[in-house]
Chain A
């Protein structure tokens, strides 16, 4: 019996001995600090792909939030805020703590963060040539600028933060003008970096034709042109277009795209909605149907529903048919936009002839024939806005086009329900502690 006591007591004492707990690491993901020290090109490439992947996130909210405010579409789903808040139902205001604002805002800044991590990691990167380092810089700055531009357009006079590299010391919200200047300067730096650079990474299918530093630089200039017209800097826009991939005689659809697939971990095109689907459908605002000109082939972007649909006092007869299927690509910017930027800038610079030529490129592409109207500034602006309205329907432009021309208001836009409001811009998210 003594032995048993001895054995059990020994066991008990063994348990008494203290143990050392090992240092912890995250088993569920690579650490941020790891990629910032001595990263090799293969690791840096992962940040590039992460940025390309993340910039697609919440694009659906971006399109439906701005599109609803611009009365080009409704999102009929189970979240009432899509038809209440965004349309200012009964005097409601835009919420600074809700998905339609915070979703796109956060994912765009996460993409910015990826670019900033990439830029930071370059300092101690190993094994990359100087040309390759410049390739990363050119990429990161260009994408960063695009992300800033997308959020600046939504927040408008509220401005945006552009100095966000240090999470503990965020820069202030800078005014719209300063933000535009920062975007242009980032794009210019990126453009300079891309000269003579090498890409170690493969930008993939979405950037086919824009996947070398030289062709990516054309994409960079295209974004610069878009930013310039948004900022009302029309002369600059024309300058940027010269180095972009603008081609008045070329394929209007040419341009880099966000791609989607069913690969493991990838996502589907979030703006695509199956035909006839209810409960989660992008409904075309009825005005788009009544206002479209005869023969305009862009009617194919709208599919007539078997029966009209209604929700929350709103009605629609057509639904989105913009994308063929759930893996269809979404354009980031395409020649068609550059042609219309060219037209717009030339109208503003009073080169009406050049503007009409450009507008005719678009008109003829959609079976409308050459422009025969007034060659006055106002008439041409109306024509240009019509073309933009149907060329970029549900692509996140309409709200800003209207605002740029002072039309984002209840005088111009249809008010579908009594008491609805038209908003000009989004508030600063609550979590930014403005």
Chain B
């Protein structure tokens, strides 16, 4: 207390000003354009901290010093207005206009403060909860973002319900570490882990990342979200320091508003169907003989005669999955306490029988003012989610993955059970997909609690200065249980493992806290100094235990009813601590500058107590706010530049060189063979310079934002394949520099805005280019990103994009493709017809970006590639597509009873139309999960689905 008081007094002294003497009172009312009173509008005397908010009726009363003053009225979602009042003014009535260009929304740029979008020096993409969910119902939060903002690239690692999304912001930022951004929800650093379930020990997949696990952002209910901000690069995310190399996604959940308690119930019904079949080759008897021999022709003709030619692709992927999503929210409060409560249940069935996802989520957000000076908020979210994902993706002779085995399955072989219920063995593949569908399990259940508390204390306030202490602490506890069951009767199990159970018990516990001192000082000459200093701490702990049982007792599904058991445990702890200081100076909304620095230390670094500095600086100049600006049509013209540095530490374990335990005939041993660690690792750093302009024309009916960024990752941490004659496989190195640069343009338009018809349109265009600018080793194939040069792989080479594909040529590796798209373009439209009809749609065009289609390699080998694709050269294909990503049509019924204040019905769809030349299921694909370089490689994925919904919403 003493310390803070002293500090605040000191700061106050620095900016001492003279207090005014005369006073007068202003009263009035604030409403929106339709005349509805606005509650909670903030009214501030410009150049001071004096202010108030409107009450339930939109009324306000404010004592103002001096003879005249400028009052600034601001309210979320509305353009702010400045009104001059004098002691002679009596009652003033203010009508706020909707903020079409979102210039007023506050963007969280520091850890403890925000800034108005119109003053922002970075291109921070923001999506409101409304934009997130208004077109159609979203399966997962991350998947909902694609096409809605620039610089974001999303691929699906699995089409299974319940997620599997890899998100990349402004290109690849890391080879081995996490390329996924940091997710922070209401100040809580949450886990987005992909937890492998060990099915690779039955399927023969190479690694846990081939198990197509979902990422745990899937647990969040998109409906709870008020807004999402995406800090795409170091220049915006520097204040997040050593975890922010891949960007930061800041999610704010909804909060109640003082006033009448609102009850809202929403129900969606929908269906999942496959987006596109890859197809199967249609054979004639002659073709069968040519391809498989005379014996096979006989089998084919017999099957034909019996009418038993099947389409196993349709048989497996042809399910229509029913979707039901119910949500109930209650929100409200009074001037001291507001709350938001939401409970939801989503139940979704996949396009493969016995697959699906359900999620029960309950959230309570409460905000309470203990006194005028102390505010406390607690947000708590409990989630119970369940997914049944079955078997897809890469494998090696496990006989489980559908696509893998369909590639070798011949449509004239009857794989259905006989009258006794016995499934035949598949004579041409390692497994019978019908058996797998009907008899195996691959399930996971998550119990999760995410809770955060935040506190704000107004320590000191006078006319010019506000001193606040803010603190927040949060935790994310995830208990994940996985269960994989393959019966002993599966043909791949007979005689070897004789049945497989993999039962995971995985715990991830994250907690973090931060505490800040924030000083806001306003001078008479309209300069605002915002100073913040603080600390941040986080701790991630995980304990993953995978229990396996083989040699099963028939029919038994418990671990002990088996002849052999094995346990694999993976432990990890990460701890980080940092200091932050930031100064933001705003000269009358004309020139806004920010300087900041963060010092971080991390247990992932060789010296866990060494601090690394991550500075930032930015400048925004609102040219149109200067007095000399006289171009009336251009209401906003902002030039901006921002620079920042972030870091990323090596993945857990990179510091250590350890022995691996082994067993032979019951005798335990240890062996070499893992990674060669480096006990002196330091974090890689990313430096980003971004600059651009924001232009608003015709009262912001047309908004243009242009941003160019150059991001250099220096000393990028990577795993290099060691010569395996060392006895080790990989080593951690850092002699690699990578540059990403790109252009992001967003254009907001309101072509029509009348009483009866409003059309808002947003175009987002972006591209990214990467180049390896330094490499201290010869060009190499990063371990684990693909399947070797023989089939095509990512290949790291100086002077080349990090996303290039190479394959074997006559004289060494040759370039065969590049997964980086040429550009992407999202087009979002909101059309309002009359008062009752809303029509919204989002299209997404991705131009270029190659995909390595190894599904076709397998179907070629098995002879089932459809005729039209059988002549394609190589396995690299153009992944361009144009997609109607979201479309929705809603009708708000005229009010017919007082019991229901609003009733809305609608229909919507997701991924309804895709135009592409790509030969397989979906060019948005990654067979190796979400981390590292892995994307744009397809190996028999869970095919993507399209969804259609019917919605009904009632508000009370």
Residues of A within 8 A of B (CB): 1, 4-6, 8-13, 15-16, 18-33, 35, 46-54, 56, 77-81, 85, 93, 95-99, 102, 105-107, 109-114, 116-117, 160-161, 164, 167, 170, 202, 204-206, 259-266, 268, 272-280, 307-312, 315, 325-326, 429-433
Contact = CB atoms under 8 A, between A and B. Distances in A.
Given A12-B469, A106-B724, A27 B571 contact: yes
A194 to B, nearest CB: 21
A110 B723 contact: no
Contacts of B669: 46-53
B396 A79 contact: yes
A429 B721 CA distance: 11
Contact of A170 (B534, B656, B666, B723): B723
Contact of B727 (A27, A33, A114): A114
Contact of B662 (A15, A265, A433): A265
A265 B399 CA distance: 22
B656 A26 contact: yes
A109 B427 contact: no
Which of A49, A112, A205 neighbours the largest number of chain B CB atoms within 10 Å of its CB?
Answer: A49
A95 B659 contact: no
A78 B431 contact: no
Interface stretch (B258-266, B402-410, B919-927, B941-949): B402-410
A251 to B, nearest CB: 22
Contacts of A33: 657
B469 A164 contact: no
Contacts of A170: 723, 725-726
A5 B664 contact: no
Contacts of B550: 262
A309 B674 CA distance: 39
B371 A105 contact: no
Given A18-B535, A164-B726, A29 B571 contact: no
Contact of B663 (A80, A264, A280): A264
Contact of A261 (B602, B665, B723, B778): B665
A330 B658 CA distance: 29
Contacts of A11: 471
Given A114-B671, A170-B723, 6 more contacts: A5-B459, A49-B668, A77-B396, A106-B724, A264-B564, A433-B723
A279 B399 contact: yes
Contacts of B292: 310
Which of B373, B407, B514, B790 neighbours the largest number of chain A CB atoms within 10 Å of its CB?
Answer: B790
B661 A265 contact: yes
Nearest to A80: B861
Contacts of B673: 54, 106-107, 110, 113
19 contacts: A1-B371, A9-B457, A23-B608, A26-B655, A28-B569, A29-B660, A30-B658, A46-B668, A52-B664, A77-B397, A78-B430, A78-B861, A79-B396, A110-B673, A111-B671, A113-B671, A272-B496, A276-B425, A431-B780
B667 interface: yes
A240 B508 CA distance: 59
B843 to A, nearest CB: 38
A15 B728 contact: no
B671 A54 contact: yes
Interface string B723-738: 1111111000000000
Nearest to A20: B609
A24 B603 contact: yes
Interface string B296-307: 100000000000
A170 B495 CA distance: 43
B374 A47 contact: no
Which of B407, B492, B496, B725 neighbours the largest number of chain A CB atoms within 10 Å of its CB?
Answer: B725
Contact of A21 (B567, B601, B727): B601
Contact of B725 (A77, A161, A259, A277): A161
A50 B535 contact: no
Interface of B: 1, 3-4, 292-293, 295-296, 370-371, 373-374, 395-397, 399, 404-405, 407-408, 425-431, 455, 457, 459, 469, 471, 491-492, 494-497, 513-515, 534-535, 537, 550-551, 563-567, 569-573, 575, 577, 579, 601-603, 608-609, 653, 655-674, 676, 721-729, 777-778, 780-781, 788-791, 793, 808, 857-858, 860-861
Contacts of B497: 268
A85 B670 contact: no
Contacts of A160: 725
A5 B724 contact: no
B665 A204 contact: yes
A167 B727 CA distance: 8
A4 B535 contact: no
Given A78-B408, A264-B567, A265-B661, A31 B656 contact: yes
Contacts of A99: 788
Nearest to B404: A78
A4 B370 contact: yes
Contacts of A50: 659-660, 662, 669-672
Nearest to B786: A97
A56 B671 CA distance: 13
A307 B496 contact: no
B281 to A, nearest CB: 16
B496 A268 contact: yes
A109 B513 CA distance: 47
B724 A105 contact: yes
Contacts of B563: 262
Contact of B1 (A10, A96, A307, A312): A10
A97 B656 contact: no
A145 to B, nearest CB: 15
A78 B407 contact: yes
A309 B497 CA distance: 24
Contacts of B471: 8, 11-12, 15
Contacts of A31: 656-659
Given A33-B657, A95-B789, A9 B662 contact: no
Contacts of A52: 664, 669
B293 A308 contact: yes
Contacts of B535: 15-16, 18
A91 to B, nearest CB: 10
A394 B671 CA distance: 27
A28 B295 CA distance: 53
A264 B565 contact: yes
Nearest to A163: B725
Given A15-B513, A98-B788, A261-B666, A8 B457 contact: yes
A268 B496 CA distance: 7
Contacts of A325: 495
Contacts of B780: 430-431
A24 B534 CA distance: 26
B577 A262 contact: no
Given A164-B726, A265-B566, A35 B515 contact: no
Nearest to A16: B535
B665 A167 contact: no
A201 to B, nearest CB: 9
A77 B724 contact: no
A56 B317 CA distance: 40
Closest 4 CB pairs of A and B: A113-B727, A279-B430, A274-B495, A49-B669
Contacts of A117: 672, 727
A99 B789 CA distance: 11
Given A5-B457, A15-B471, A170-B725, A266 B663 contact: yes
A312 B653 CA distance: 42
Nearest to A278: B427
A25 B808 CA distance: 41
A35 B661 CA distance: 13
Contact of A29 (B396, B609, B658, B789): B658
A26 B664 CA distance: 24
A95 to B, nearest CB: 4
Contacts of A259: 664-665
A49 B661 CA distance: 10
A106 B727 CA distance: 7
A50 B664 CA distance: 8
Contacts of A81: 790-791
